[in-house]
Structures are given as C-alpha cells and as structure tokens.
Amino acid sequence: MAGVADAAFRTVAKRFGAAYCVSEMASCKGLVYSDRKTAELLTISETERPAAIQLFGCEPEFAAKAVETAERFAPDIIDLNAGCPVPKVTGNGAGSALMKDPKLFAEMVTALVRSAHVPVTVKIRAGWDSEHINACEIAHIAEECGAAAVAVHGRTKTQMYSGKADREVIAAVKQRVNIPVIGNGDVDSVESCVGMYSETGCDLVMIGRGAYGDPWLFRDIDDYFEGRERKPAPTLDERLGIMREQIELLVKCKGEFIGMKEARAQAAFYLKGMNGAARYRGMCGKLTAINDLYELIELIKAENKTSNGGNDNV
C-alpha cells in the first residue's frame, strides 16, 4: 500500500465506513535519522481514527527509537510490517524477510512492545515461499512477545500478489494464537469478505488493493453486516466526484507537483470498467496540474453521457 494508503486515501475510506486505518510504511532507521518525509507519513487526522502508524525495519535498536518519534503523532496503534514482499524492503532484511529469521523477528516485536505506550500489532504473510510456510510459528512468537493482534496475508513472499491467498493458512493461525487475527488477501467484494470470515474464523478483515478506486466497498460491507439493503453501484458522477475529492485532498497534503504525480495512479483506479477506460488511463499518466484532472473529468462525463444516451450509470 506504499504510495497509495496516504492521508487522502484513508480519509475517503473512513468516510465510506472503514473501521480502522493503517498508514503507509515508515522506515525505523529513516525516522531515527529524521527522514524529511516523517511528518507526511506519520500525521494522522482525527477523521482517520482509530489509526495505526506502520513501521518496517530489521534492527531492534532503531525500532525502539522509531517508536519515540512515531508516538509524537499520537497513533492509536503501532504496527510492524513483517509482510511486505517488495525486493527493496526484503533485500535489506525487513518486511517479509523477517519471517526467515524468527529470532530477529522476536527481537523486533519485543523492542516495539517495550517502547510503545499503545498496542503493537504485526502484519505477516503465509511464509517466504511454498517450502517455508511458517505463519503459525511467527504469529505465536508475536503473541509471546506481547503483540496485541496479528494480520495475516494468505500469500507467500515469492508469490507477491499473484495466485490466490491461502485462507487455510489464516485459519491455522487463528487456531494457534489467542490474540485477534486479521485476515487479508483477495477481499474485493461483500461476498469475498463474508467468505474470509466464514472460512478462517478471523476476528477482522483487512482490505487493501480491493479498495483501490472503490471506497464504496466499505459501505457495502457495512450495510451487509448491519442488515441494511444493498445500495446501487455508484453512478458515473458519483465515481468521478469521489475521485476528484481524493485527489484534491492529496494535492492539499503534498502540494500540486508531488500530489499530481501520485494522482496519476490514484485516478486510474477509479476508471476501471468505465467506457473508454484504457484511453482515459493513458491520459491519467500525463496529469501534471489539478486543472488537468478537472478537464479529464469533464471529458469523461461528456463522452460517456453521449455514448450512454444520457444515462450516467457505469
């Protein structure tokens, strides 16, 4: 979720019913050495709460000091990412690489728990690869070291985001530990969320990529569990309106130059399945100013309403 789960994304997700937010990853060592992006990564608005600050690293001495910096931003939870599969993270021994070294993983969790004044949670994967599925062992270590909950993504590191998340692994972790287990992986609909709960017995469901360009997913899941009638899919105007709101928040937080660079991918997520989506996504890749976005929105509305005979549903 790095580069996606920023304050703008989280604010929109919360407005549509997300129960809890987790920040983008922040490097423990980077925080200790006063990384210039610290405030951008760690600032949590009241709208986003409850929210966690997510840390990554592989050096316990830096983890303890990073907590001190993170807690200046008053997070409700500190989360250790031991599940990120990206090579630039695992190549330095952090993220899911921690699962290959249970002793070091234990030292990282212990350092965070001893230093934090809020609960510490951990995000892990099924294991490093299909020959080393050790989520149960790692989750048990997390519990023994004082973690308050563990989130489990049902893929291995080597799978990255290919294939399917293994819910049996998540179910096995739930049977192994007494702390809450959060199920993660392939949840992109009400049905897949219900399936995650029923097939794993998990206590909560974490949604990541499934919410890209679709904050209505949180609303629909809430409606299901609260027994409310399912609402219609968002209209074209509604979809473009929320896209605009999120990107305006992004620009407000990061400035137009950086914000619009990051908005290119964010805007493209909202266009999936839309008439002419491929061409519009190509145009998203050239966004440089907020006015470019406004012009694209007006173009999409005009072309789609013409092609649909005035019907703005997508």
User: Same domain, yes or no, for 92 and 131?
Assistant: yes
pLDDT for the residue 33:
87
User: Does the residue 2 lie in any domain?
Assistant: no
Confirm if 147 and 138 have CB atoms less than 8 A apart: no
Residue-level pLDDT at 311: 46
Whole-angstrom distance, CA of residue 136 vs CA of residue 154: 12
What CATH number is attached to the domain comprising 275?
1.10.1200
Residue 1 falls inside a structural domain: no
pLDDT for residue 160: 93
What's the rounded Cα separation, in Å, for the pair 130 and 158? Answer: 8
Q: Of 21, 28, 58, 84, which residue is the catalytic one?
A: 84
84 is catalytic: yes
Same domain, 131 and 259: no
Distance, in Å, from the CA atom of 77 to the CA atom of 22, rounded to the nearest integer, reads 9
What contacts 177, CB < 8 A, 6 or more positions away? 139, 140, 142, 143, 150
Q: What DSSP assignment string belongs to 53-115?
A: EEEE-S-HHHHHHHHHHHGGG--SEEEEEE----HHHHTTT-GGGGGG-HHHHHHHHHHHHHH
Same domain, 17 and 63: yes
Task: Flag whether 215 is in a domain.
Answer: yes
Q: Is 190 exposed, middle or buried (0-12, 13-18, 19+ CB in 10 A)?
A: middle
Residues 72, 193, single domain; the answer is yes
24-37 burial, b at 16+ Cβ within 10 Å, e below that, comes to bbbbbbbbbeebee
If asked whether residues 21 and 135 sit together in one domain, one would say yes
Q: Are 183 and 285 members of one domain?
A: no
Domain boundary among 195, 225, 255: 225
Given this model, what pLDDT does residue 310 score? 43
58 and 164 housed in the same domain: yes
Same domain, 66 and 190: yes
> Is 274 domain-assigned?
yes
Cis amide leading into 50 (omega within 30)? yes
Whole-angstrom distance, CA of residue 15 vs CA of residue 20: 11
Angle between the N-to-C axes of helices 135-144 and 102-115, in degrees from 0 to 180, rounded to the nearest 10:
30
- Domain boundary residue among 225, 256, 291? 225
Is the pTM above the cut of 0.75?
yes
**CATH number, domain containing residue 194:** 3.20.20.70
Give the pLDDT of residue 296.
96
**Claim to verify: residue 60 and residue 31 sit in the same structural domain:** yes
Flag whether 149 is in a domain: yes
Going residue by residue through the chain (314 aa), what tens digit of pLDDT does each one get?
A: 666 778 999 999 999 999 999 999 999 999 998 766 777 788 999 999 999 999 999 999 999 999 999 999 999 999 999 999 999 999 999 999 999 999 999 999 999 999 999 999 999 999 999 999 999 999 999 999 999 999 999 999 999 999 999 999 999 999 999 999 999 999 999 999 999 999 999 999 999 999 999 999 999 999 999 999 999 999 999 999 999 999 999 999 889 999 999 999 999 999 988 888 999 999 999 999 999 999 999 999 999 875 554 444 44
Q: Are residues 210 and 256 in the same domain?
A: no
Pairwise CA distance, residues 245 & 15, whole Å: 12
Residue 39 lies in a domain: yes
Beta partners for residue 152, in sequence order: 124, 183
Give the residue numbers spanning the domain of 251: 236-307
Do 28 and 175 fall into the same domain?
yes
119 within 8 A of 83, measured Cβ to Cβ: no
Query: Does residue 133 fall inside a structural domain?
Result: yes
Total domains, the chain: 2
- Report if residue 313 sits inside a domain: no
Alpha carbons 116 and 211: distance in angstroms, whole number: 30
* 54 & 110 share domain: yes
Among 225, 249, 269, residue at a domain's last position: 225
